[in-house]
Amino acid sequence: MGKTVHAFGDDALGDLDAVGIAAAIRSGEVSRIEVIDAAIDRVERVNPHINAIAYAAFERARVAAAGPHTTGPFSGVPSFVKDNNDVVGLPTCFGSAAFKVRPAKKNSPPAEQFLQQGYAILGKSTLPEFGLTASTEYIDRPPTRNPWNVDRSAGASSGGAAALVASGAVPVAHANDGGGSIRIPAAVNGLVGLKPTRARLLDQPGVRQLPVNLVGEGIVSRSVRDTAHHLAAMERTYHNRELPAVGLVEGAAKRRLRIGVITSHATGDALDPETVAVTNVCADMFADLGHSVRAIEPPVGSQFATDFKLYWGMLAVLMSASAQLRHGFDFDPRRLDPVTRGLAKMWTRNSFRTVATLRRLRAATQIYDDTFSNLDVVLSPTLSHPAPEIGYLSPEVPFDELFVRLQRYVAFTPLNNVGGGPAITLPSGMTAGNLPGSIHLSAARGDERTLLEMAYEFEEARPFPRIRAVTAAV
């Protein structure tokens, strides 16, 4: 079994979450530069083991910490931005070798909204090329590794963000989710990962013009409190008036909920028994807490998986074409990896199916809404099996075989992206291979509040596993 890696210790960060660090800075208990120096030291100790940084900006962070104080509720809290969002002065290469390294001239809207909260950016975190697969692995550089077990995948596409947070390098990190890319790495790294309702927060340019907008912006964190406070802060800088406000959720609610439990794959593929067991234990726990719990069938079947696969291929084509138009000679499509090229070829061969596919995917919003006509929450696994070994989902695996593996692995997260609803992944116990387990909770569109209230209740009833308890710091 691979070793466990973390950097928790008795420095300025201690064992605090982001809310705690921000409070310590405001009170003068620690200074901004002490916090930044502690985070940089932690990053430098763990990153040789996990390879989670696309670009470092340590000196820039030190200079900023010594200068005028930023505003925002998380002022001075160290973090990373995922390398698919522009941050002024840092390159954006989308995890791909096809881009020339050039500093961005302005912040993307999601990065700007994130930075408005006061986070101190230490650099950009890794992702697989264009975020198109479920493990942060490459053909031209070392993979990003899971700090709980460095022989295992850190998930994707926010794999670098999750590895940095789980290892204790930073308390939270920016992430985004187009098919599970917040929730998958949160699940395999023992973190909290909330995908908000579609268009709850600002999106990258062009995303809302896509035939089906899949992507939601957010963070990965180690506490429900951080996720709740972050969402409330983001909502104060931008509120989509078409959605009900979430506000600051600070604890569990007293009301008891109707919970539907899914423990079968939409395509009929078998699930890992340990994954099912974790879900059933948590379902029983919610029942013991007074919630009404019953088993339900997946609301979509194998046709949905086929349609999502084709649309994913279409997105690979669109992202490659957009990069070519935007970056010109600074983008070399010959250097795209086999996953992107394989998805593009798959869509090209089946492009005549696109119109019918889009019609069915757009109809999935109604299917999603109907699921919550007599339920408040749906509980399921996040993934079909625990994090695989490095190499199992490598882009070097022949594409057809790789995509079969991906479809079996990523069974539960895409419906929330297509249907537009919120979902949260929460850590739950430990599984074989020294890996944290997880559950996945979904709610009606606009109802992040219910998910956060449930998450607080779950965290109190079933405390999250702690990597610090497993091994000593590196």
Band (pLDDT 50/70/90 cuts) for residue 265 is confident
For 48-82, write each residue's pLDDT tens digit: 999 999 999 999 999 999 998 888 999 999 999 99
Give a yes or no: residue 119 inside a domain: yes
Q: How far apart are CA 164 and CA 145, in angstroms?
A: 10
Cα 224 from chain centre: 14
Give a yes or no: residue 4 inside a domain: no
What is the domain extent for residue 461? 18-469
Give a yes or no: residue 213 inside a domain: yes
Amino acid 424: pLDDT: 99
| 384 has catalytic annotation | no
Sign for the pseudo-dihedral over CA of 457, 461, 465, 468: positive
CATH number of the domain to which 377 belongs: 3.90.1300.10
Cα 102 from chain centre: 25
Amino acid 350: pLDDT: 98
Give a yes or no: residue 11 inside a domain: no
Dig out the tokens for 207 from the structure: 């995303």
Give a yes or no: residue 350 inside a domain: yes
Catalytic, out of 82, 124, 195, 309:
82
Dig out the tokens for 54 from the structure: 């696309």
Amino acid 472: pLDDT: 84
Dig out the tokens for 28 from the structure: 């003068």
Mean of pLDDT values over 107-121: 98
For 391-445, write each residue's pLDDT tens digit: 999 999 999 999 999 999 999 999 999 999 999 999 999 998 899 999 999 999 9
Amino acid 269: pLDDT: 86
Q: Could you give the number of structural domains in the chain? A: 1
Is pLDDT above 90 for 23? Answer: yes
| 158 has catalytic annotation | no
Dig out the tokens for 297 from the structure: 């069938």
Radius of gyration of the chain from Cα atoms?
Answer: 21
Is pLDDT above 90 for 237? Answer: yes
Catalytic, out of 157, 158, 167, 442:
157
| 157 has catalytic annotation | yes
Give a yes or no: residue 7 inside a domain: no
Amino acid 69: pLDDT: 82
Give a yes or no: residue 38 inside a domain: yes
Amino acid 168: pLDDT: 98
Catalytic, out of 96, 153, 158, 181:
181
Band (pLDDT 50/70/90 cuts) for residue 10 is very high
Give a yes or no: residue 8 inside a domain: no
User: CA torsion, points 29, 33, 39, 42, in degrees to nearest 10?
Assistant: -100
The rounded mean pLDDT for the chain is 97
Amino acid 341: pLDDT: 98
Q: Is 358 helix (H, G, I), strand (E, B) or coil?
A: helix
